């Protein structure tokens, strides 16, 4: 990925989601804000490594960080997740009515914006 940083927002978001640790961190964050240390606790990873995972999530706009004394309070920022969800939405027709006539779904897809 020669220019992952220069890549579009959506790619950055999907890339951030392409890691179990990062998804797990987001899951934890859905319950409320937490410090880096708290977020790192469940994993067998160095604090430094988790810190970098969080930095990546931050660059993707999926979390925000505030400093509280010597702690960083990390919180979920779901807005960018919505973009990913929106991208996926048109494809829902393909699996929600899995056993229906596919042609109909294909037709409805054509009138929908994708990518």
Partner DNA sequence: CAAGCATTTACACAATCGCGTAATTACTCT
Partner DNA sequence: AGAGTAATTACGCGATTGTGTAAATGCTTG
Contact residues for DNA, defined by CB under 7 A: 1-5, 18-19, 21, 35-37, 40, 44-49, 51-56, 65, 67, 69-72
Cα–Cα distance between 47 and 103 in angstroms, integer?
Answer: 51
Burial of 50 (0-12, 13-18, 19+ CB in 10 A): buried
> In what order do the strands lie in the sheet containing 34-35?
34-35, 71-76, 63-68
* Torsional sign, CA 61, 67, 70, 74: negative
**Which range, of 4-12, 43-51, 65-73, touches its own copies by CB under 8 A?**
4-12
Q: Least distance to its own copies from the beta carbon of 70, Å?
A: 26
**Which range, of 50-58, 66-74, 83-91, touches its own copies by CB under 8 A?**
83-91
Per-residue binding string, its own copies, 6-45, x by CB under 8 A, is: -xx-xxx-xx-xxxx--xx-xx--xxx-------------
């Amino acid at each position: 990925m020669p220019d992952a940083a220069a890549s579009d927002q959506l790619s950055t978001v999907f890339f951030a989601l392409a890691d179990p640790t990062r998804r797990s961190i987001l899951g934890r964050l859905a319950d409320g804000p937490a410090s880096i240390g708290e977020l790192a606790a469940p994993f067998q990873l160095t604090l430094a490594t988790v810190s970098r995972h969080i930095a990546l999530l931050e660059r993707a706009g999926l979390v925000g960080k505030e400093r509280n004394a010597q702690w960083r309070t990390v919180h979920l920022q779901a807005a960018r997740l919505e973009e990913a969800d929106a991208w996926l939405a048109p494809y829902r027709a393909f699996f929600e009515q899995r056993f229906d006539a596919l042609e109909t779904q294909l037709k409805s897809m054509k009138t929908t914006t994708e990518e």
